[in-house]
Amino acid sequence: MTAAAEKTAPAPQRPAFGTVLAPLMAVATYQNGRWGQAEVRPVGPLELSPAAHVLHYASTCFEGFKAFRHADGSVHVFRMARHIERMRQSARQLVLPQPDAAQLAEMVTTVIARCRDSVPEAPGALYLRPLLIGTTANIGAAATPASEAMLLVLASPVWDYFAGGMKPLRILVDDVNTRSTAQMGMVKTGGNYAAALGPTLAARAEAQVDQVLFCPGGEVQETGAANFLLLREGALLTRSLDGTFLHGVTRDSLLTLARDQGFKVEERVFTVAEMLEWAKTGEAALSGTAAVLAGVGTLIHRGSEHRVGSGEVGAVTRALRAQLVAIQQGTAPDRHGWLTRIAG
Ligand SMILES: *Cc1c(COP(=O)(O)O)cnc(C)c1O
């Protein structure tokens, strides 16, 4: 679809991202030092002690990734193993029982297979949401890890993220607040989103922005739920991996595609000043599973507005996004083995 067609096509009314669940979920529990057999059951309320560790001490982490329906009807999950590995890493950091990689993969593929009818046609997808929570009933366990846990896999049909057109984002550059702590930045854990919410809502009210880009100490990190990339023809700059931010699988995939076509890809620490200089003639974008790559049109720093390039979603941003989406949707070859086909 051309940019013009994208803007004028009537957008069918679809539920907002994440508000609809597929009918089934997979559940496994950890007790006495081991994971029990997983079961698939209708989505419904959980039975949980009000003293459950997660409710008091935030022992929780999650994942988010997608399965796609290709034109031939087959269904494929994108980079499942990588997401499972990241969840195991989150669990280790939170001292929660680690999910077994093979068991979690089986839970994910079973939910997709049994909810196959819920996988939308492209550009929609089935969003997968594994969730791990500490369930030990003990309100005196502030400094004790949960010895019991529950692992769930939810699925949610999602539709075109840009159904309303690709609007360039307004971003507040915050060089004071942090979104997380140094040791929890790379963990996909509930508390981090609660921590980013206050500054994000305040920025929305004060500067009518979409998101806050956290840059503690003047170093560019990421927004509340997406990584940050600077782009221009043949070049990409993003923060190097460290414990302060979430290591996005979309980020990794886009960097791989950029390197494949000879981009100069730089991963290093860079400052707000350098970002604003780049933005004069370059592009900026947010990356994550939900939107893949969303262009930034304006950066607001200490009360001044800085237009990014033309102020519209840039050509490099659009092209890179289209390449990754084509692999996910099966219209371009999967050269890196990122897709897992669901049997049936
Ligand atoms: C999930 C997430 C991302 C994006 O990760 P993807 O693997 O690309 O979806 C980036 N930042 C934060 C804080 C996140 O929670």
Q: What is the pLDDT of residue 9?
A: 57
CATH of the domain at 59: 3.30.470.10
Tell me which residue range forms the domain holding 36. Answer: 24-158
Q: Is the residue at 12 inside a domain? A: no
Residue whose CA lies nearest to ligand 1 atom number 13: 225
Based on the domain organization, do 149 and 178 belong to the same domain? Answer: no
* DSSP secondary structure of 254-281: HHHHHHHTT-EEEES--BHHHHHHHHHH
CA of 330 from ligand 1 middle (Å) equals: 23
Based on the domain organization, do 121 and 187 belong to the same domain? Answer: no
| End-to-end Cα separation, the chain, in angstroms | 31
Based on the domain organization, do 134 and 189 belong to the same domain? Answer: no
Q: Is the dihedral of CA 99, 105, 110, 111 positive or negative?
A: positive
Decide: 75 in ligand 1 pocket, CB within 6 A.
no
Last residue of a domain, one of 158, 182, 202: 158
C-beta of residue 282 within 8 angstroms of C-beta of residue 310:
no
Decide: 226 in ligand 1 pocket, CB within 6 A.
yes
- Contact partners, residue 194, CB within 8 Å, separation at least 6: none
Based on the domain organization, do 126 and 174 belong to the same domain? Answer: no
Last residue of a domain, one of 107, 128, 158: 158
Q: Give the mutation target among 227, 249, 256 for probing the ligand 1 site: most ligand atoms within 8 A of CB.
A: 227
pLDDT tens for the chain, residues 1 to 344: 444 444 555 556 789 999 999 999 999 999 999 999 999 999 999 999 999 999 999 999 999 999 999 999 999 999 999 999 999 999 999 999 999 999 999 999 999 999 999 999 999 999 999 999 999 999 999 999 999 999 999 999 999 888 888 999 999 999 999 999 988 999 999 999 999 999 999 999 999 999 999 999 999 999 999 999 999 999 999 999 999 999 999 999 999 999 999 999 999 999 999 999 999 999 999 999 999 999 999 999 999 999 999 999 999 999 999 999 999 999 999 999 999 999 98
Q: Is the residue at 336 inside a domain? A: no
What residue type is assigned to position 18 of the chain? G
Based on the domain organization, do 267 and 177 belong to the same domain? Answer: yes
Q: Is the residue at 164 inside a domain? A: no
Decide: 63 in ligand 1 pocket, CB within 6 A.
no
Based on the domain organization, do 130 and 184 belong to the same domain? Answer: no
Q: What is the pLDDT of residue 11?
A: 55
Q: Is the residue at 337 inside a domain? A: no
Structurally, the chain folds into a number of domains equal to 2
Q: 173 is written with which tokens?
A: 């550059």
C-alpha atoms less than 13 angstroms from C-alpha of 110 in its C-beta half-sphere = 18
Based on the domain organization, do 61 and 127 belong to the same domain? Answer: yes
Decide: 288 in ligand 1 pocket, CB within 6 A.
yes
Based on the domain organization, do 204 and 68 belong to the same domain? Answer: no
C-beta of residue 222 within 8 angstroms of C-beta of residue 282:
no
Q: Is the residue at 205 inside a domain? A: yes
C-alpha separations of 78 from 108, 136, 211 in Å: 12, 33, 26
Q: Is the residue at 243 inside a domain? A: yes
CATH of the domain at 243: 3.20.10.10
Q: Among the atoms of ligand 1, which is closest to the Cα of residue 179?
A: 13
Q: Is the residue at 339 inside a domain? A: no
Based on the domain organization, do 286 and 316 belong to the same domain? Answer: yes
Residue whose CA lies nearest to ligand 1 atom number 1: 225
Q: What is the pLDDT of residue 10?
A: 57
Rounded distance, CA 214 to CA 237, Å?
16
Q: What is the pLDDT of residue 1?
A: 43
Q: What is the pLDDT of residue 218?
A: 97
Based on the domain organization, do 215 and 131 belong to the same domain? Answer: no
CA of 182 from ligand 1 middle (Å) equals: 16
Q: What is the pLDDT of residue 5?
A: 47
Based on the domain organization, do 76 and 182 belong to the same domain? Answer: no
Q: Among the atoms of ligand 1, which is closest to the Cα of residue 86?
A: 7
CA of 81 from ligand 1 middle (Å) equals: 16
Q: Is the residue at 68 inside a domain? A: yes
Last residue of a domain, one of 126, 158, 190: 158
**The pTM is what?**
0.95
Decide: 188 in ligand 1 pocket, CB within 6 A.
yes
CA of 113 from ligand 1 middle (Å) equals: 25
Residue whose CA lies nearest to ligand 1 atom number 15: 225
Residue 182 per-residue DSSP state: T
C-alpha separations of 259 from 48, 154, 180, 239 in Å: 47, 34, 30, 16
Based on the domain organization, do 129 and 38 belong to the same domain? Answer: yes
